[in-house]
Structure 1
Amino acid sequence: MPVNPFKPTSHPAVDLMVTFLRGRIQRARSGELDRGASAVEWVIISAVVVAIVGVVAAIINMALKNGADKVSDCIDDADANGTCD
């Protein structure tokens, strides 16, 4: 029985990126030098895209947490009229 070197993670986007990068690396090893250079460029581009997505996700997550904290504080401090100061 063959051993599966790829253990899926809990996040589909990570699995897709790992699969994509493994395919690019495999093609780089089996192809010409030009194709290898192209694969390295794609890996670098992919890494930059993943980093940008991570930063944007962190910013959105922080904004949502701050908004949720404001709503929670408003609910806690609401007066008898149901308004928040």
Structure 2
Amino acid sequence: MLASYQGQLWARISARKPRGLNLSGVAMVRFAVGRAGELISVELAASSGNAALDRLALRTVRNAGPFPPPPATVEGDQLVFTIPFSFH
């Protein structure tokens, strides 16, 4: 159930990812989603080494919210995810 929800979030974030960049790198982004699907926090867990790509990764996650609410079977007030955000 949680894996399916993660897939929904990643698809939503990926759909907002800018295309056609001539830069490459991987930024690790950590974000928290609340019970109603609201984006509680977003931060850089590991830098790509390029400040512009890091900012773009954070902005893309922010722009993807609000998210669908998590499944009712998931416990806790928020879910925290860390995803690799790749640019090639």
Q: TM-score range by the shorter chain?
A: under 0.3
Q: By percentage of residues, which structure has more strand?
A: 2
Q: Which has the larger radius of gyration?
A: 1
TM-score of the superposition, structure 1-length normalised?
A: 0.26
TM-score of the superposition, structure 2-length normalised?
A: 0.25
Q: By percentage of residues, which structure has more helix?
A: 1
